[in-house]
Every structure is written in structure tokens, then in C-alpha cells.
Amino acid sequence: MGIVDNYLDALVTHDPAAVPIAPDAAFVENLERKPPGEGLWRTASQAPNSFKIYVPDPVTGQVGFLGHMQANGDPLLLGLRLAVEDGQLTEMEHLIATDETETLGELETPRPAFREPVPPEERESFDGLSYFSPAPVAVFGPGVLADDEGAVAHAEREYVDVADVRQAARALTDATRRLVGVAGADSADSA
């Protein structure tokens, strides 16, 4: 997964110019839009260890990645999505889970099943993939459907409370830890 590895190398060297970022590219980190070069671009201090899961999607020109790395010397789990068009990165998305439960250090290598390609006869067609897959997914609706000013749902001022986003991030972190077999899951239950 050359584009992902090059991107991660550029993160750790704090050099967005080292990868082909489109001039109008969108960069989002933990749900906040930022200019490329901000956020993890400034704090990444160690490239991912051997815990790396790549999820290429050549049909849509995207690639996902889950890996254990460090920022400012502290461990984190990075969920990454890159979109590529005409050889340039047009979308870059980071979802970062920090090590509040001190279990990220246990992530050394993914389970073997995550490192093996799915045999062609067992693959779903792109059209056959369901939105309601068994994988952990966070879906948000509006925090409020309407208020004194009118409709909120699907309006420009639609929002989700930050506390709800944080709770979803904890739940996704715990689900991912369970999925990859790391002890110490269930921090979302105690939050």
C-alpha cells in the first residue's frame, strides 16, 4: 500500500509536500476540518509499528488504514481514509484514539485473518455490500430535529453534540479493540 506508507512517512517527517495533495483537498481530523499540515501532521513522532491493517477500495479510489503509532511520544490508534483521483490525494481523514486505558501497547500485530486477502470466491460484489454490515459503524442524526428557528435536520446548522461524538469514538475504539483481540475493551461502558 504505497500511497498509505508514503503518507504515513510524510506525517512523521511533518512534510505534507512529500505526498501529492490536490490543491483543493479536504483534510479532516477527529471530525474537524483543518488545513493539511495541521493536527497529526505536527505531532506524529513514530510511524506505525507492525500493527497495520490496510483496506484498499480500488472501485472508489480510496484506501482505509488502521494502525498503531505515536504522537508526541504517546501511543495512538489511527484510523485513516485517503481518496485518490488522478494520482493526487483529494480527501484525507484521520480518526485518532488515544490510549486512555493504556492497552494500545498490546497492539503488536493484527490477527492473521486481517493480513490475508479474501479469496475471490468469498468476496462480496461492490453492489452486494450492505450499509448494515456487521462492522462497527457510527451513524449520527441531528442532535435536535427542530427548534424555535425551524428545522435543524438536514439544514446547514444541523449538529451533533460533542459529548455524543466523544461517546461514539469511545464505543468505536472499544469495538475495534474487541475486533482485534485487545484486552481492556469496554471503556465506553464506564464513560
Summarize pLDDT for 73-128 with one digit per residue, the tens.
998 889 999 999 999 999 999 999 887 666 666 677 777 777 777 788 877 665 65
Distance from C-alpha of 8 to C-alpha of 47, rounded to nearest angstrom: 7
Query: CB 81: neighbour CB atoms within 10 A?
Result: 16
CATH code 3.10.450.50 region(s) in the chain: 1-112
Q: What pTM, to 2 d.p., does this model score?
A: 0.64
Architecture of domain 1-112 in this structure? Roll (3.10)
Distance from C-alpha of 10 to C-alpha of 12, rounded to nearest angstrom: 6
Summarize pLDDT for 28-79 with one digit per residue, the tens.
998 889 999 999 999 999 998 888 889 888 888 899 999 989 999 998 889 9
What 3 state SS string does 144-160 have? Answer: CCEECCEECCCCCCCCC
Distance from C-alpha of 186 to C-alpha of 170, rounded to nearest angstrom: 9
pLDDT bucket at 178, cuts 50 / 70 / 90: confident
